[in-house]
């Protein structure tokens, strides 16, 4: 079992005991938890969207808080029912500010990114449930390798930019290379959703504990947030070319 998602990987269910009955993880339960996570995220996002000054002032504290909650949840899955809602609230506050800034530069771009993100989520879920996308070992390996490669590129760009080196500029610009790169990243992020669906289904079949519903929702939210950010970035690149 492989995935580029840091929350859902081959060791996700390694140390979880198998349970049955009402104490076991279910797909419906995970869907309900994911819906609640989305509601919390959108609530805080709307608040910071309408309060851009507050969002700017608290940007770095919120970013640090989301990172700490991310690490805590990754290393202690049992407390996911408590940390995941807080993570979603803080992440929503962060995304609300980012989206407001993007929308101020290019009106309507945030709503377009939201619609495309949910559209891709719905389409891939339908394709997965209809078995039109087969999650094979080669599929997992390919998505895992591509995701890891993207991570390396992003990290190299951040490190090199600190020293004023920007030879990767075309990848992140609004030229043809930058547009193609963004489309590639969006495709990989979208296919990570399929792997997330597969991991959640695997956990339910295995009889993972109930708290893993929250953890499964957490993993799915990580991928959805990544997908939204990449779509928003692509739309901004396209709008800047006009």
Q: Please give the chain's pLDDT, 242 residues, in tens.
A: 455 566 666 566 655 666 666 778 889 999 999 999 999 999 999 999 998 888 888 889 999 999 999 999 998 999 999 999 999 999 999 999 999 999 999 999 999 999 999 999 999 999 888 888 888 888 888 988 899 899 898 888 888 777 777 667 778 888 889 999 999 999 999 999 999 898 888 888 888 888 899 999 999 999 999 999 999 999 999 998 77
Please check whether residue 15 lies inside any domain of the structure: no
Please check whether residue 44 lies inside any domain of the structure: yes
Please check whether residue 166 lies inside any domain of the structure: yes
Q: Give the total number of structural domains in the chain.
A: 1
Please check whether residue 14 lies inside any domain of the structure: no
pLDDT of residue 144: 87
pTM here?
0.89
* Structural domain for 75, as ranges: 21-240
Please check whether residue 213 lies inside any domain of the structure: yes
pLDDT of residue 10: 58
Please check whether residue 106 lies inside any domain of the structure: yes
**Residue 14 CB-density burial (10 A; 0-12 exposed, 13-18 middle, 19+ buried):** exposed
Please check whether residue 178 lies inside any domain of the structure: yes
**Residue 19 CB-density burial (10 A; 0-12 exposed, 13-18 middle, 19+ buried):** middle
Please check whether residue 3 lies inside any domain of the structure: no
């Amino acid at each position: 079992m492989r995935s580029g998602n840091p929350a859902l990987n081959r060791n996700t269910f390694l140390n979880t005991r198998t349970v049955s009955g009402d104490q076991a993880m279910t797909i419906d339960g995970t869907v309900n938890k994911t819906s609640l996570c989305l509601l919390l995220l959108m609530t805080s996002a709307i608040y910071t969207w309408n309060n851009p000054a507050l969002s700017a002032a608290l940007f770095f504290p919120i970013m640090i808080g989301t990172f700490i909650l991310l690490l805590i949840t990754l290393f202690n899955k049992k407390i996911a029912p408590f940390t995941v809602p807080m993570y979603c609230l803080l992440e929503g506050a962060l995304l609300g500010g980012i989206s407001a800034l993007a929308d101020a530069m290019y009106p309507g771009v945030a709503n377009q990114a939201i619609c495309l993100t949910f559209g891709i989520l719905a389409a891939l879920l339908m394709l997965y449930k209809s078995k039109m996308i087969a999650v094979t070992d080669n599929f997992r390996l390919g998505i895992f390798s591509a995701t890891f490669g993207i991570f390396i590129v992003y990290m190299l760009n951040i490190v090199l930019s600190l020293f004023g080196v920007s030879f990767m500029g075309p990848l992140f610009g609004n030229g043809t290379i930058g547009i193609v790169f963004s489309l590639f990243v969006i495709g990989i992020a979208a296919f990570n959703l399929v792997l997330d669906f597969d991991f959640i289904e695997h956990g339910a079949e295995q009889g993972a504990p109930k708290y893993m519903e929250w953890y499964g929702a957490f993993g799915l939210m990580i991928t959805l947030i990544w997908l939204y950010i990449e779509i928003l970035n692509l739309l901004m690149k396209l709008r800047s070319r006009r």
